[in-house]
Structure 1
């Protein structure tokens, strides 16, 4: 069964509130502030997938909206800036 737009928005809003304590309106303001794109690579969200809410796993603070690929990439580096910088240095060799 396909959900209509209103049902999808209601489900998304409930999920955002439960997981991050924000509303769909908050999410949309963040998306607009980022120019409608991933904060790292600049990709636009697809028609079937919104950008992920990126947050600190230590503090819970929301950092921004990322495409799924970039959000997962940060997770691989355990949100550790030093390790991520070392990986960037390695790629520059």
Structure 2
């Protein structure tokens, strides 16, 4: 094989490592060098009204995160063998944030902004105890529909009552002082108060 190749765009003879790989070509290299391909791609994006990412030079052992735009050392990235460079697309901090957001959206059907709007509509307090800040999304377990944002304690309490209104009413009557003791009618037979 030759040590150089001619770029089909700029017509310059360059070393083989200036060209990206292409397994379908006989010489297994692209027809134009990397820089010419990048410029062609940038022009195509502009025609579509889009912008191409600007390639930022990064020192060896570092990578730039597209979300926070920080250049971080490889110890702040997760490994990802299938990717071209062997590292994840986003730094650990951004990846954690993205995964949390995606998981929350899958489970609740809400984004963080929508959750903040819902909490704002509630006056930034739990709608049951009216004291604690809302931090837990409450939803109907049958339909999956979000009902509101509650404090941890109130949300846990509803979960313990399994969202059964009759149990919650009995608990409220008990707390309000209405005695809820069964009456012994016969040996082993108790009558519940109505």
TM above 0.5, one fold? yes
More helix by percentage: 1
Higher mean Cα deviation, 12-21 or 23-32? 12-21
State the SS of the aligned residue for 1:35.
coil
Offset, 1:38: 1.1
2:39 corresponds to 1:39: no
Q: Which runs of 4+ in 1 moved over 4 A?
A: 6-9
**What corresponds to 2:156 in structure 1?**
72
2:109 corresponds to 1:21: yes
Unaligned runs of 5+ in 1: 46-50
Offset, 1:92: 1.1
Offset, 1:13: 2.2
Are the structure 2 counterparts of residues 34 and 9 from structure 1 closer, same or farther at C-alpha, using a change threshold of 3 Å?
A: farther
More strand by percentage: 2
Aligned residues of 2:133 and 2:150 also touching (Cα < 8 A): no
Inter-partner Cα distance in structure 1 for 2:97 and 2:122: 20
If asked which structure has higher relative contact order (CA below 8 Å, sep 6+), I would say 1
Instruction: Please point out which of 167, 170, 183 is paired with 1:83.
Output: 167
Query: RMSD of the alignment, in Å?
Result: 2.1
TM-score scaled by length of structure 1: 0.79
Whose radius of gyration is greater, 1 or 2?
A: 2
Aligned residues of 1:12 and 1:24 also touching (Cα < 8 A): no
What per-residue deviation string (whole Å, max 9, x for no partner) do you get for residues 50-91 of structure 1?
A: x11000101101100011111010011110111100110011
Unaligned runs of 5+ in 2: 1-91, 178-194
Inter-partner Cα distance in structure 1 for 2:126 and 2:99: 22
Offset, 1:10: 3.8
Higher mean Cα deviation, 22-31 or 10-19? 10-19
Inter-partner Cα distance in structure 1 for 2:125 and 2:152: 12
State the SS of the aligned residue for 1:59.
coil
